[in-house]
């Protein structure tokens, strides 16, 4: 059984608070207009529409609740949804009119409005989990990129220092550049911040970065034509 069918089966077990709610649900199922006589009629009407025309994606997939109509009844249902402050969009496909809701919070609101609170909570739980995993992945990707940049920069600096040593130019450089080179050679895998903390005497992060970049430029000048 699909998740959408499971929801419909659950909704069928729910009773109605008043007779007017049952009439509203029937109107929705029969693609007719309805009159709200109590605060629960609107949700009951949408329950009837969903019974006949609706489909809800499983929580594990992207949030999407779709109504498929063969006529312009979609416009009427769209207006009813707007009254409930739920925004739905219309599309045409293969001679059918689709009314769809893609925002996860709007889908959860509609499912709750129809009376299936536990299904709504499940949708929200899955969405929160997706957001958490997405944020975690973004952070991991950012950290991986930072580590790659640090490793590439360190490798470039080490190569430059070795070139300066081989050309017997390193010992003729200013003392602060020699100290920066020695620090990098002693800690080939350290980040710029870690090198800064190891500096003696202390040096700012930007200052140390400037010195390491200067070493790289000087080495490049040795090999450039």
Nearest C-alpha neighbor of 45 from the set 64, 53, 72: 53
Q: Using an 8 Å Cβ cutoff, are 19 and 27 in contact?
A: no
Distance from C-alpha of 14 to C-alpha of 21, rounded to nearest angstrom = 12
Q: Evaluate if pTM is beyond 0.75.
A: no
How, if at all, do strands 96-101 and 89-93 pair?
antiparallel
Report CA-CA distances (Å) from 44 to 63, 92, 211. 22, 26, 72
pLDDT at 100 (0 to 100): 93
Ordered mean pLDDT values, 10 residues apiece, the chain (225 residues): 85 88 93 91 93 88 86 91 92 89 87 84 71 78 83 88 88 88 89 87 88 90 65
139/115 Cα distance (integer angstroms): 38
Which of 75, 19, 25 has its CA nearest to residue 50? 25
Token code pair at residue 177 = 């550049």
């Amino acid at each position: 059984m699909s998740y959408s069918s499971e929801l419909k089966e659950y909704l069928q077990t729910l009773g109605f608070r008043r007779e007017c709610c049952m009439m509203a649900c029937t109107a929705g199922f029969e693609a007719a207009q309805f009159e709200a006589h109590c605060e629960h009629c609107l949700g009951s009407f949408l329950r009837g529409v969903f019974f006949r025309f609706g489909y809800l994606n499983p929580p594990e997939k992207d949030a999407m609740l779709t109504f498929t109509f063969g006529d312009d009844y979609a416009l009427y249902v769209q207006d009813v949804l707007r009254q409930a402050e739920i925004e739905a969009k219309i599309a045409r496909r293969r001679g059918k009119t689709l009314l769809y809701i893609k925002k996860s919070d709007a889908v959860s609101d509609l499912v709750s409005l129809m009376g299936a609170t536990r299904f709504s909570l499940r949708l929200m739980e899955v969405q929160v989990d997706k957001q958490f995993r997405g944020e975690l992945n973004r952070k991991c990707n950012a950290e991986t990129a930072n580590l790659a940049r640090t490793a590439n920069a360190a490798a470039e600096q080490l190569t430059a220092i070795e070139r300066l040593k081989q050309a017997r130019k390193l010992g003729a450089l200013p003392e602060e550049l020699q100290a920066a080179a020695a620090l990098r050679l002693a800690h080939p895998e350290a980040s710029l911040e870690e090198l800064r903390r190891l500096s003696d005497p202390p040096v700012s992060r930007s200052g140390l970065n400037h010195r390491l970049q200067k070493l790289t430029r000087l080495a490049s000048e040795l090999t450039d034509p």
